[in-house]
Amino acid sequence: MAELTETQIEELRALILLNCRGLQELLDSSSESSKPVALDEPIGRLSRMDALQQQHMAIASRQSQTKRLQLLQNALQAIEREDYGECRLCEEPIGYPRLKARPETPFCLGCQGRSEEER
């Protein structure tokens, strides 16, 4: 892996850790709103429907945050294994600018595009 310099890897590692902390805080602070809606609780102006919909959205965003956190943790492990920055599919270097924008991405732009088309 000649693509990333040590300095770049350190920079990306710091970025990943920062993102992890941010996501963890989001998850901690949103854990209240994704609790089941209590039937006997006064919910003010919101109808029960609205409350359920909000809860649904809170759960959906928690799921994507949890998934991203998992990817970030995988990326940290990849740094430990010294194969960070390598595409999981084609094994080509992902490239620093892309990693800088999305440090958790396990795929290069080409493979990401292909996997999104398959959905």
Query: Under DSSP, is residue 33 helix (H, G, I), strand (E, B) or coil?
Result: coil
- 111 lies in the binding site for Zn ion (CB under 5 A): yes
Distance CA 54, CA 104 (A): 28
- 89 lies in the binding site for Zn ion (CB under 5 A): yes
- 108 lies in the binding site for Zn ion (CB under 5 A): yes
Cβ 75 to Zn ion shortest distance, Å: 15
- 90 lies in the binding site for Zn ion (CB under 5 A): yes
Between the CA of residue 14 and those of 7, 73, 79, 91, what are the distances in Å? Answer: 11, 12, 11, 23
Size of the site for Zn ion (CB under 5 A): 5
Which chain residues interact with Zn ion by CB under 5 A?
A: 87, 89-90, 108, 111
